[in-house]
Structure 1
């Protein structure tokens, strides 16, 4: 027993010294394996496939490119339309301030962000690793500019004291995670907050049933000063306009009377045109009929006063 004691002691010392080294080596191996191995036999590869993204102008977008076993290589982002290198590693190579690189840091994902996109940003974007040969992951971005419109007539006649409601609608889907674009209202160039306390607008919301983004402008008690050209504008769509004409009771009656008078004159003119157009045809039809009934074949069977009346009526028709 005493002879085995030194051997056990040496074995214990050996294990105590060797175990940390073994664990450290295993930790280093896992570090290289999980945090982009520098060993040449580990080739980089993408964690997923490329994707397509659709959005409206004015939104912020980002692409995520997961790369494993990157090692001492670099991830670059390129714009395919003009082969412009946007970023390489942590470095940005474009002067476009909207573009930013999202480095992997402690993850395996390298991201590309673009703020306030426009339709000109539509196209393919490439995530590329500088291996031999290079490996590339393709992403497609589609940016559309919606058209804003205000349902109803382009001109609105409103009486003083009544309520006015205008709705601005942008026919565009808002993707999950996106914020609806901002919609602003103006009257003759004046923004909604300065139109008066009786004027208010609702924030833009996504209407899933209508597949549109909407904002409503309300005027509780309309005054004559509320007349003007109203516009709804957004960075995601072209502007829409409507003209609002506010009238008092006397002005409204005068407008209705004037429009009624114009309508009566218009109808009379239409009748005169129709009559004048048909008059020559009626006269020609009468002449043909009289020529037929006064022909010798018809008059041969007639005599007396009836014949004299027909001949007399024929002489009254002027010849061409």
Structure 2
């Protein structure tokens, strides 16, 4: 029984120390938050022993006071403070974030002096890419396989169009052998396949997602050597001739 009372006394002492400590931050949560352009972001600040102190959010870029408690102190109504009683989280909600919203934000408690916890908010925009570009060389008669990758989208695109020399590709044309496969998700990938490549298939190909920037590549259908290979061969011949005639030229100068 004595040990039981001893443990109870120890618990009371620890509890009292916790109360005397004052407000402090739970630092186990990540300090780095990434959001997509246009998709609501949340910065979560968890505070222990807050008591009757107030919580504010400050943007470091211009030291602008955004919120105090659950009131917004900026004309930009995209910023809102949300309190979760169950977790003790004070969240700064940022609606429709833009690239300019990226930066350091501080969750601050009104102690004397104030204590704060900084977080880094990064806003990323959609990226469209076609690996292998901007110049792609294909042998005559082989298959053209163009891959369009779209990242950092708030939602998958409703459609992904392909054009050839600024004209939308007709997959049912008499030419035949042209198809597209699109896989939508956090990363959307669209594959354009052109079988039995012809010289007429050369030109500019563009991938146009419905909610992201377009991307283009130039496709060259070749009959024979790759231009880069021809250039390399030419350089090798030039180097050989220089090595051959340089000693003769030096001997001529000495004489």
TM range (shorter): 0.5 to 0.7
Query: Which of the two has greater strand per residue?
Result: 2
Superposed CA deviations along residues 99-135 of structure 1, whole A, max 9, x for unmatched, are 3332436763321123455554443322223344434
Q: Is the 8 A contact 1:44 1:67 kept in 2?
A: no
TM-score calculated relative to the size of structure 1: 0.48
Equivalent position of 1:66 in the other structure: 46
Equivalent position of 2:175 in the other structure: none
2:79 to 84, 89, 99: 99
Equivalent position of 1:112 in the other structure: 92
Q: Is the 8 A contact 2:44 2:92 kept in 1?
A: yes
Q: 5 Å matches for 1:298-313?
A: none
Equivalent position of 1:219 in the other structure: 193
Alpha-carbon separation, structure 1, partners of 2:227 and 2:44: 66
- 1:89 is the counterpart of 2:69: yes
Q: 5 Å matches for 1:1-320?
A: 45-46=23-24, 48-49=26-27, 51-55=30-34, 58=37, 60-67=40-47, 74-96=54-76, 98-104=78-84, 108-115=88-95, 117=97, 120-142=100-122, 150-152=130-132, 154-158=134-138, 162-168=142-148, 187=163, 195-197=169-171, 198-204=179-185, 215-221=189-195, 224=200, 227-230=203-206, 241-245=216-220, 247=221, 252-253=222-223, 256=225, 276-281=245-250
Alpha-carbon separation, structure 2, partners of 1:107 and 1:257: 63
How many residues matched? 225
TM-score calculated relative to the size of structure 2: 0.56
Aligned Cα root-mean-square deviation (Å)? 5.2
Q: Is the 8 A contact 2:25 2:46 kept in 1?
A: yes
Q: Extract unaligned runs of 5+ from structure 2.
A: 1-18, 172-178
Query: Which of the two has greater helix per residue?
Result: 1
Alpha-carbon separation, structure 2, partners of 1:202 and 1:80: 40
Alpha-carbon separation, structure 1, partners of 2:154 and 2:21: 39
Larger Rg: 1
Highest RCO, 1 vs 2 (Cα 8 Å, sep ≥ 6): 2
